[in-house]
Structures are given as structure tokens and as C-alpha cells.
Amino acid sequence: MAQRQSDTPVQLPTEIWAQVIELLDSEDPKDVRCLRQTCRRLLDLCDPAFCKVLHVSRPELAGIQEASFRRHPQRYGLVRTMVVHPQGSSASSHITVRGQGLVASSDLEKMISLIPEFRELRTLHVCTIAIHDDVVGIPRVQDYLDTHACSVFHRLNQTMLSSAFTELRECTLLSMQYHPIWINPILWAPKLISLKVSFPTIDEQHEFPLPPPKSTPLKHLTLLVTPFTDPQIVSSILSIPTALESLAFDDSRAQITSSQGILAEVLPALALHQPQLQTLKVHAARKRNFSLHMHTSPFDFTQLTGLKELSFSNHENCPINCFLNLPAGLETLRLNNEVLLFALAERLLPLSSAPNFTCPRHIEIDIDLNFHPPGDRPQRNYFYSWRREELMGEIDELMMNLPCQSITHTKRANKEKGRVLAKRTNDHDTFKTTAVRILLCTDPELVNGHSRNDLWEFHQCGLEREPEDDRD
């Protein structure tokens, strides 16, 4: 009797292969790509996982991707996430030189023109490239970047006219060069929860008017504007969500930063339209607005009666007026730049008797050294030389001068972070200070992707993956 030949993996039932494919990471198509190359059967089975997350990170391949979708229109309905974000730190990763000119953005525009076809799209990120230190010496780079941003977002503005966004939950539209982004259609998305946009502009006379006030489910909003933006534009946008939970606001997006910005004018509108707002993250137009020399504050946060958490990401190293004009119910105040703790403790003590001084229950100082200029970034093993005892002494001094319940001081360097926590005990007169060094691989918070401080809200577009894509 002939011996029965054993089944090969490719002969496994479709149901088994479907379970295997579900276990693969669709955020990074590398594993899916390897599996689908096994045979034609697996290529077809892998299509939903392979098309689920569409990365357009290499401009020179965008035309190939666009042509692939045109040849296989059944794949349109498989895309759930689209990321258009040219990435890489080297000049060659951003800009390809052909002869005497630079590569145009036409292929990226072709991919953007497909957005209306992606009817099941849940997440959309479009972010143009930024100027990096290592491309400054390349001729005409600035002109190229300006043209790149203009062409990409000009096409996006046109494309949104025919896009329904019926399933969209999360959207990021960021131009690193100034270019107004028309957001009327995006604001109509019936399921949109999170929106991050730079240089937003609206047109109330267009065929896409703004949605009525208090009509959308938007919960989390990030606005990056210039110091000269019309505050009425921001006010109109803030009036649309039914109940916004968090706002990140940056009015420093201009080369000229001498302006006071528009935050002071935006706060009354925010209090009027979103009185229940719980979290506000601020990147003010000028660092001097929050400095040692300012014993008054141009900003009145007391209007935000529902605010529980307030974060400052553009302040000087002794920001005493970050403690002025705060809501009575504020629970957490977070500072995201370097702070001179002894100087802050010394200056806050006499200021604490001022009628507009407020000390929340929790003070957090969270510093990410990875945002420092390249020459000032920490070397490896930074925390081996971490002067934790000295830092603990400085926090003790600050704790004695402030009536808060706890102070947390966090530093992030490379893929580690160190934390010092001072917590007041039950008798309110004494407190205990502890220090801990946390490795990336052992800290669930870091492993789950929350490894940066609030500055990350205002830096690039928060996208780090650079997977290659070879859809055919």
C-alpha cells in the first residue's frame, strides 16, 4: 500500500490560514508581504491584511502604488488606514535629485486623489516633509519643500470635495511649511473622534458650509496655527463639537515669534463653546509669556471651569506665572521643558500669597531630552550618571514651598526614562520622595507607545514607522 503523503503548510484549510494572517502585524506589512509571496492562493488571502494599512512614505514609489490600486479596484474597500508621510532623517530619504532638478510631488498627488475611493477609511494621516539639519546645504531645498507642501495640500483640498468620510474616526493633516488646509468636509465626518490639523481655514460660503454648532462627536482636537491667525476661525471650529474633551493648541507656527499670539483671545471662546473641556495642552507663541520676569499672566485660564489638566510646552526655565490665573478645580499642572527647581521654589514662595496664585494637587515636570538639538542630545547610558540624589533634594525644596499633594519629575533619554516622585503623607506636614529608573522594555507605558511627553503633540505628526510597501 502506498504511504500517504503528508500535507504541506500551503495545503492547510483556508480557515487556518485566515487565523494565521489575523495574528500578523498589519501595521507593518513586512511579515504579510513575506507570507503572500508564498503562492497565489496566499497572495489573495493576504490582501485584506496587506491593504488594511496603506503607507505612502516613499514618493518615488507612490506612482507604483497608485497604479496597483487602479489595476485592482477591489482593494479600495480593504483600506482602513492611510498614512502619507515622506520620512527619513537623511537628505536622500526626503529628496531625490534627477539631473538639475528635484523630483516633483505628482506621484504623491495621485495617491491623494484616491482618497474618495477608500470608502471604509477609518484613519487618515497626511503630513508633508520638514526641513532637517542635514538638508540645509542642498540647493533649492526650501523652494522644493514649499512647492511640495503646496502641491500636496492643494490636491487634498480638491479631493476632499468628493470625499464622504463616512467611517473616518481619526485624521491628521499637517504641513510643515505654511499652507492653509481647508477642513470644512472633514468636520462633517459623522464618526470623527480625533482631529489634528495645521493652518486650518474654513469657508462658510462654500457648498460645504460648516456643520451646525454642537453637532459632531469630536472629542480630541489639535490646532497648529500662526500667531497672526484670525481668532474667529478658531472660535468657529471650537463651536462645532458637542463636547470636546481635550485641546492641544499651538499658535507659534511662524518664523517671526515676537507676536504675543492669539491664545488670550481664544480662551474666552473656548470657555464659551466647550465649558466641560478637561485637558488643555498649550504651546504658546513666546517663551517669555511664561518666564521668571513675568509676575503677571496675559492668559486667564480661570474661565475654563471644567479643566482638570493643564500642560505647558513652551516656557522658560523658571515659569512662575504658569501658576497664575488657573481654574480652581485644576488637578494637574504639567511643565514639559527644563525647569530650574531651586529657582522656581524660591520665586514661588513670595508669589504664593498673590490672590491669583493657584497650586493644583499634582505638579508634573516631564522632560524629553530627545527633542534637544542634535549636539545637545544625551549619550547612551544617560541614566547611569543621573544625579538622582541632587534632583531629589531640589524636589524636596519645591515640595516644602508648595501646598501640592505630589510632584513628579520625569526625564526621557533615548529609550529610557527616570522618574522622581514626591508624595505628601496623610499628616500633610511630611512627604516621601522616591526615585526609579525605568527601561523601555520593562515599562508597559513605554511599550504601548506613550513614550514621549506632551511636546510630541506639537512635533511633526507623531508618526514614526517607515515600513516599505510593494503592492503590485
pLDDT at residue number 102: 44
pTM, full prediction = 0.82
Note down pLDDT in tens along the chain; length 472 residues. Answer: 444 444 545 555 555 556 665 656 555 566 555 555 554 545 555 566 667 888 887 777 778 888 888 888 888 998 999 988 765 433 333 444 443 334 445 777 888 899 999 999 999 999 876 544 334 444 455 555 565 667 788 888 889 888 889 999 999 999 877 888 999 999 999 999 999 999 999 976 667 789 999 999 999 999 999 999 999 999 999 999 999 999 999 998 876 656 788 999 999 999 999 999 999 999 987 777 776 666 677 899 999 999 999 999 988 888 888 999 999 999 999 999 888 988 888 888 888 888 888 899 999 999 888 777 766 677 666 666 667 778 888 888 888 888 889 999 888 877 777 888 888 876 556 667 665 655 544 444 444 444 578 888 887 544 443 333 444 4
Query: What SS3 string covers the chain?
Result: CCCCCCCCHHHCCHHHHHHHHHHCCCCCCHHHHHHHCCCHHHHHHHHHHHHHEEEECCHHHHHHHHHHHHHCHHHHHHCCEEEECCCCCCHHHHCCEECCEECCCHHHHHHHCCHHHCCCCCEEEEECCCCCHHHCCCCCHHHHHHHHHHHHHHHHHHHHHHCCCCCCCEEEEECCCCCCEECHHHHCCCCCCEEEEECEECCCCCCCCCCCCCCECCCEEEEECCCCCCHHHHHHHHCCECCCCEEEEECCCCCCCCCCCCHHHHHHHHHHHCCCCCEEEEECCCHHHCCCCCCCCCCCHHHCCCCCEEEECCCCCCCHHHHECCCCCCCEEEECCCCCHHHHHHHHHHHCCCCCECCCCEEEEEEEHHHCCHHHCCCCCHHHHCCHHHHHHHHHHHHHHCCCCEEEEEEEECCEEEEEEEEECCCCCCEEEEEEEEEHHHCHHHHCCCCCCHHHHHCCCCCCCCCCCCCC
